[in-house]
Amino acid sequence: MAQEIWIEVRVLVPARMQEEASLYLTDFSGRGVIIEEENVPEGGVVIRAYFRPEEYGAWQRQELQDYLKRLSNYELYPLGLEVRQVAEEDWAEAWKAHFKPLKVTDRIVIRPPWEDYAAQPGETVITIYPGMAFGTGRHASTLLCLKALEQVWEQSLPSSGDPWQVLDVGTGTGILALAAARLGAEVLAIDLDPEAVAAALENVRLNQLLDRVWVEGTPLTSLRQRFALILANITAPDLLQLAEAITARLLKDGVLIISGFLTEDVPRLSDRYQELGLHPTGSLSHEDWSALIFRRP
């Protein structure tokens, strides 16, 4: 059987733009991206995105050129674009070459299944096979959610002894759901992308957490259960559109953590969720990205 061929798009951006560009290319391709920092011009980062041949045509080429042009208007150099065909096996090996164990918070270490890691005292190791879903702990929005999760857990440990019921909206690889489960929660992880659901299920199996994390393609609006903690690391437009549905699923005294947006979006998101009766209790930021924490009184 012939190997499947993919279109690899390699974009060179300034290092300080890697978060924004990686999120853009993840949304644009609908798949995870590779961030390559070695053997590139000083101050730059190469981001690789992948498309099936039928998904990459004239419109996509023009969109990428327009994106680079918008970056250059902000004097963000150096910039470059390279497009080539690669075999699926080469794509898989590229993941392995550029995805190493990474300590993302004071206690959480993310490792791929092909890399060994000896946990130090107090560390929690989560195994992530990224596949084509978003969420390896390297993006600022994921990092902020993980830090906010640890902060909330330390401040609001379940008093009844029963596991917290947690909802992870737009789970991607399942990284946030897995982190919450490692802390002792029972988690429902949902995503409308079938590839994300498949990736998250595989990661739940790799971490032997099938008894604590359930992954579904169920739409948020179809849920009726309410949760003590909701995690939503999705885009600002989605957070605004789903604000009522997210808030409706939060228990009294429950906590909501949202991320996936730029700091400039904080005011309108904060206002929207406060309009729905939630109280802001914290915020975190990293580079140009932010996360917000709310509690339902």
Which residues on adjacent β-strands are paired with residue 14?
A: 44
Q: Edge-to-edge strands of the sheet including 102-103?
A: 102-103, 108-111, 124-127
Q: Which residue's structure tokens are 């150096």?
A: 78
Q: pLDDT for 134-175, tens place per residue?
A: 556 667 788 899 999 999 988 876 655 678 899 999 998 899
What pTM was estimated for this model as a whole? 0.77
Mean pLDDT score of the chain = 86
Residues 205-225 pLDDT 10s: 999 999 999 999 999 999 999
Q: pLDDT tier at 22 (50, 70, 90 boundaries)?
A: confident
pLDDT at 77: 58
Give exposure, 120-147, as e/b (b: 16+ Cβ within 10 Å): eeeeebbbbbbbbbbbbbbbbbbbbbbb
